[in-house]
Chain A
Amino acid sequence: MTILIAILSRLAKAALTLLAIAVLNFCLLHAAPGDPAVVLAGEAGAADEQMIAQLRERFGLDQPLYVQLGKYIAGIVQLDLGYSFRQSAPVIDLIAERLPATLLLTLTAFVISLTCGIALGVAAAARVGKVSDSLLTTLALLFYATPLYWLALMAVLVFSVWLGWLPGFGYETVGSDFSGFARAIDILKHLILPALTLGLFFMAVYMRMTRASMLEVSTADFVKTAKAKGLSGPVIRRRHILRNAILPVVTLAGLQAGQLVGGAVLTETVFAWPGIGRLMFESLAARDYNTILGVFLVSAAMVILFNIVTDIVYRIVDPRIGARA
């Protein structure tokens, strides 16, 4: 019950934060040089004063900035993210079209990086000081240090061009008319490379963190207690150390899960993944303000959502939080 109220109040607060973010972003974007009307006119291949004036009027860009802001905020309150000038469609539709792809990519990458990262971190911590530990740690460091886009290019080169195992880009085989299970398999094949490249960096982060955290916890007194009980090494690691070591990883993961939504621009670009990050990047080039603002708002909402989820996960993992009565 109290949890429910707490979540509700937190959501209300989040809504306010979002509104403030919308205002801030609005101001930020309008500080950018570049006029969407001019861009649109430019794209048309020819333009004159009349056309630009028409465009401005049509999009309300001829009005003073504060009026535009007022209208925009009023729209947001009614869950209307505005209209994309460039794509001539409501922003919310554009985002809705792209969001599933991004979520599929980033969540897969997230799950892969988290599970593998933690598993490898545990493995490395268990072998601390041995060759295999150094090997794993160095590998993680390498993944961490390698620029993501470079890795992506290499992955395409190797797995797609040379070996021909996996499709190098896109979301699914275009025009294949797959449906049901076959389609799922097809999408999965397309998903592997981008999800892996996106995941590798975070995997490295989680692994290092898990390892460090495991080592730290393994010096705790209760680990000694567990040994004194006669528990075996693996049992101690699983039941005692890992559970305590995972908390900082959860915090970090929560932060990053939110960031993943907007942080996949590079991966989406290299792999032609029709996601929201690319939408943002392309809209930025066209000064399609409403779309960028929409993307920012949605990803901010994601971050906040994931923060709440993190808190709940935290509560499940650590009974000390909030349980004091």
Chain B
Amino acid sequence: MSVSDEFDAWAADGRDKGMEERHWHTAKHVLSRMPVEAGDTVLDLGTGSGYPLRALADTKDIGRGYGLDGAPEMARNAREYTREAGHDNIGFVVGDFGSLPFADDSIDHVVTMEAFYYSSDPRETLREVARVLRPGGTFHCAVNYYEENVHSHEWQENIAIDMTRWDASEYRAAFREAGLAVATQDNIADEEIEIPPAAHFPTDDWESREAMVERYRTYGTLLTVGVA
């Protein structure tokens, strides 16, 4: 099963926009933390609809933004949304996390939202990130599928790609092994998703209100920040 087999279908039936909407609750915090200066070059891995680059162009005056995705239909949609929004310094490429098509030291900051765990070899991906970043460049890696987030464990059942489920300390160790200093690590809560009153549970997705609160407000997304 390839990334494009899986995710082209997501793009075709609108799940790219659905993810953007849900991920934005936490992604906006990740993006606002990035120490991006005017003119910087930013790479977004597994860009989906491409919203992180549009947000960085709107708020931080990036020089250039590149979105990489393994699913051609995702890149196609992302390019269209970005043109419609009038950005002319953001481009998209189809590529794989395992062999980034960017020169050594060519990127100031890399970001990835809810995509890293799909990498077929996450340690190789980290080495590639360390390679393309200039010395002192940062990697903001946000994942909602990880060991401590027990509510995410079942996601693997619904997807044909093998997912990586590290815990927070495994993220730190793997970053360091790849030559990225770990700067900081944090859980970013989703404070915006609406959680119904207790009487509405069980819902289609949640057994109990406590479980849903824990998933979104406590665990949220795990952000690990590395520096090359």
Q: Do A and B bind each other?
A: no
B-to-A contact residues, CB < 8 Å: none
A-to-B contact residues, CB < 8 Å: none
